[in-house]
Chain A
């Protein structure tokens, strides 16, 4: 094994820093904001507006679209801008559902449970997953958008497990929606199949952010120190999106979780600003 060029501390600490971010945002989205991560007014003219929510509103209202209001528009612009700069980082660093899923994955890991769809022996040319990463996310996304246009209401928001989590702290919202007790545990149960199953295969928000991330030029994992590179495919096993760095073209679905960077056995992964 060659010497690492970067301080070992950052490698081990990056996951901890990400946990801190995830847990902090979890508290914020569930308890501290009034609303959900899709749309919430934070006060003093600030708002957060996630793009799927905005698109649904536009499609639901159609010609009668009443506009978003300045703070929501700014919030939307900030969200999209952040995705252009940081890619799908929301998924790995902020999303409350992602945090919940990570917690479930971690618990299963501690219990030495091997998820069903994980390939036992991923090779350099095998993906780590038995499930093909196809167009499921985009199918869900398309259904959400088409459904909103047809039913003239943002139907995805009623069912969305991310929104369900955010509404979780409202007294009276829990059982009244019913979905609260079902959708979030169902998503958690998907971790029995594969880690971050929802995020990878189903989440329409993730799908939308992936589309936007296509235009993000930064923070793409690269292999450096070609001499040390063993082509082992471990990065694909570690990556929650199953990305094999050598084979990947766009990195649009990369959630910038830095797991490949932290856990590459030969330390050859580099994530830079270029």
Chain B
């Protein structure tokens, strides 16, 4: 386990884009990604979007996960065997990482918008979360988000029925491999 952690660089202050699972660390990523869009084309849920001008000039054309378009199914779903994005990446910007080590970021809850925290009946996030313990329930059946356990798949964000959404996917806590 320790060896696995050593090969990864953990971004604690992730305020950047949420990258596809297995993307190399951001500094290297910007130099290795050729902006071909193959990952965006292949993603079975359509979660990957290519970044635009407002994401930064160097970031234009690079892939990011937009949980509002779909969840990342690397942890559970169509990419359990292999991340489709990783299979088509021509330059190795997205590398093969075991499912157990994937962490693309974590979900963040806005309690002012959450139906449950505002007194209603909803636990859709808890229902769809594929990771035990990432979301736990307190006495009043309201969700508590544990960012350490969360892998950042974005399924809760996509499923949240609140309008506007009570959840966002951030890159906080992402674990990304080094190049090579």
Contacts and interface: CB of A to CB of B under 8 A. Distances in A.
A and B part of one assembly: yes
Contact of A69 (B28, B53, B92): B92
Contact of B32 (A61, A169, A172, A176): A61
B180 interface: yes
Interface stretch (B39-47, B102-110, B137-145): B39-47
A154 B35 CA distance: 8
A72 B91 contact: yes
A35 B37 contact: yes
Interface stretch (B6-14, B56-64, B119-127, B162-170): B56-64
B31 A39 contact: no
Contacts of B51: 176-177
Interface stretch (A114-122, A156-164, A215-223): A156-164
A1 interface: no
A108 B179 CA distance: 49
B34 interface: yes
B38 interface: yes
B52 A57 contact: no
Interface string A206-249: 00000000000000000000000000000000000000000000
B88 A41 contact: yes
A130 B66 CA distance: 48
A170 B32 CA distance: 21
A178 B92 CA distance: 26
A29 B33 CA distance: 19
B111 interface: no
Contact of A177 (B38, B61, B180): B61
B97 interface: no
B30 A152 contact: yes
B40 A170 contact: yes
A157 B62 CA distance: 10
Interface residues on A, range: 35 or more
B97 to A, nearest CB: 16
Contacts of B32: 57, 60-61, 66
Interface in A143-196: 151-155, 157-159, 163, 166-167, 169-173, 175-179
A153 B34 CA distance: 8
B49 A176 contact: yes
B66 to A, nearest CB: 8
A153 B37 contact: no
Contacts of A39: 34, 36, 90-91
Contacts of B37: 35-36, 166-167, 170, 173
A258 to B, nearest CB: 31
Given A167-B50, A177-B50, A154 B34 contact: yes
Contact of B31 (A71, A152, A177): A152
B61 A66 contact: no
A40 B39 CA distance: 11
B69 interface: yes
A21 interface: no
Contacts of B50: 167, 170, 172-173, 176-177
B40 A179 contact: no
A79 to B, nearest CB: 13
Report, nearest first, the 5 A-B pairs whose CB atoms are least far apart.
A158-B60, A35-B38, A35-B36, A60-B31, A158-B61
15 contacts: A34-B42, A35-B37, A57-B34, A60-B30, A61-B32, A66-B92, A151-B58, A157-B36, A158-B57, A163-B61, A167-B40, A167-B61, A170-B40, A175-B52, A176-B51
